[in-house]
């Protein structure tokens, strides 16, 4: 019988806020929010701030009303990129099969690393230890035989935890979850599933594939049915090319002067291009 793959999903805990706490140690233990300007949005909030209900993408003005005594600091993207690069380098010490998803999370295929470093759980603990010792921040790790289940697992052991879902426990773990937990289920698909009376992953799994395809279309119906049974055939992709890169900024005032708009557009384009260049350089280090 072939060996199951061992996939880790490593997710840094409140990454931007955690890095900011390193730079502002006087705020450690206090409610800290990364995001500035009354018209801005929250980039990250530490766990003390989350107790007030503050979440990423929330308008800063609303977060300030929810926690007037919280500390709000502007983001430092260059610093986050620097720490992210160092964390990814730690991952590469344990396996060459690293697929970064963003600055603060990645999939790792450690199937071939177990002879050197031990079980999936032992590798996860070694990675967590190295990240904390070197960068002084914590991460949570989900372990499973597929990317889909590993990512779900990491979300259920935060902050600073490890959760392993053995192959024979996948359906027990997966089926009670709400349909929104399945990859690809956004608000529109969730509405369609609700109209069908499907509220849990088990509901989808027990619906005929043909019914799902008829209601949701070939691609979506097929994908949801497979994922509802814990089947995910995607491999960890080491070298996935950057599909797009962008840059955004919320200004403190409305801008309607064409020359000023062009000047800001060129500045933001230059920053995005620099990030793309950094991403390409990092991709080359993975390939090498």
Q: Is residue 65 helix, strand or coil?
A: helix
Task: Give the separation between CA 204 and CA 30, rounded to whole angstroms.
Answer: 42
Give me the sign of the Cα torsion angle 186, 192, 195, 201: negative
Q: For the sheet containing 162-164, what is the strand order?
A: 98-102, 105-109, 7-12, 139-144, 162-164
Pair 103, 84: CB distance under 8 Å? yes
Catalytic pick among 48, 99, 105, 164: 105
Q: Which of 229, 226, 155, 224 is nearest to 186 (CA)?
A: 224
Burial of 252: CB neighbours in 10 Å, binned 0-12, 13-18, 19+: exposed
Question: Whole-angstrom Cα distance, residue 146 to residue 235?
Answer: 8
Interhelix angle for 187-195 vs 209-216, to 10°? 120
Catalytic (active site) residue 105: yes
Q: Which residues contact 274 (CB under 8 A, 6 or more apart)?
A: none
Kindly list the catalytic residues: 105
């Amino acid at each position: 019988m072939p060996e199951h793959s061992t996939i880790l999903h490593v997710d840094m805990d409140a990454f931007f806020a955690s890095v900011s706490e390193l730079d502002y140690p006087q705020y450690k233990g206090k409610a800290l929010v990364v995001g500035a300007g009354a018209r801005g949005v929250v980039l990250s909030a530490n766990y003390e701030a989350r107790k007030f209900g503050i979440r990423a993408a929330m308008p800063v003005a609303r977060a300030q009303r929810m926690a007037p005594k919280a500390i709000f600091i502007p983001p430092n993207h260059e610093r986050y990129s620097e720490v992210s690069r160092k964390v990814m380098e730690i991952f590469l010490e344990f396996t060459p099969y690293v697929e970064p998803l963003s600055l603060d999370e990645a999939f790792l295929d450690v199937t071939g690393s177990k002879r050197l470093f031990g079980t999936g759980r032992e590798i996860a603990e070694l990675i967590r230890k190295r990240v904390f010792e070197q960068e002084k921040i914590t991460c949570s790790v989900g372990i499973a035989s597929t990317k889909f289940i590993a990512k779900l697992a990491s979300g259920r052991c935060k902050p600073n935890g490890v959760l392993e879902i053995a192959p024979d426990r996948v359906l027990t773990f997966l089926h009670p979850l709400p349909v929104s937990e399945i990859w690809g289920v956004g608000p529109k698909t969730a509405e369609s599933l609700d109209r069908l009376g499907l509220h849990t992953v088990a509901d989808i799994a027990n619906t005929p594939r043909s019914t799902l395809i008829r209601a949701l279309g070939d691609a979506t119906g097929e994908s949801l049915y497979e994922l509802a049974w814990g089947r995910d055939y995607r491999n960890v992709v080491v070298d996935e090319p950057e599909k797009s890169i962008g840059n955004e900024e919320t200004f403190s005032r409305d801008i309607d002067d064409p020359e000023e708009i062009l000047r800001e557009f060129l500045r933001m384009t230059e920053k995005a291009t620099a990030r793309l260049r950094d991403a390409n350089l990092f991709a080359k280090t993975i390939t090498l």
